Amino acid sequence: SFYYMFNASLKPVEFLLPSAPGGRPWCRVVDTAAESPSDIDSAPPYDSLASQKSYRVAASSFVFLVAEG
């Protein structure tokens, strides 16, 4: 399962994370606001967001999550 977050605004936006299917954690694969090389995680294991209920997406950026597990 995948979850995409787009922020076209000039301010950060806090997104509430839905429950991932099967109780698996969401993991960050891409965050275009992060410093390179941390902006794209090209192979597992990805950064787990298991303890997060929301994710702040920076202005004019994109985040891509995948349900791992």
Share of the chain above pLDDT 70, in %: 99
* Residue carrying the six token digits 């992060």: 34
The pTM score is 0.90
pLDDT at 69 over 90: no
Report the alpha-carbon distance of residue 38 to residue 67 in Å, rounded: 19
Mean pLDDT of the chain: 94
Instruction: Please tell me what DSSP assigns to residue 34.
Output: S
Could you read off the pLDDT of 13-42 as tens digits, one per residue? 999 999 999 999 999 999 999 999 999 998
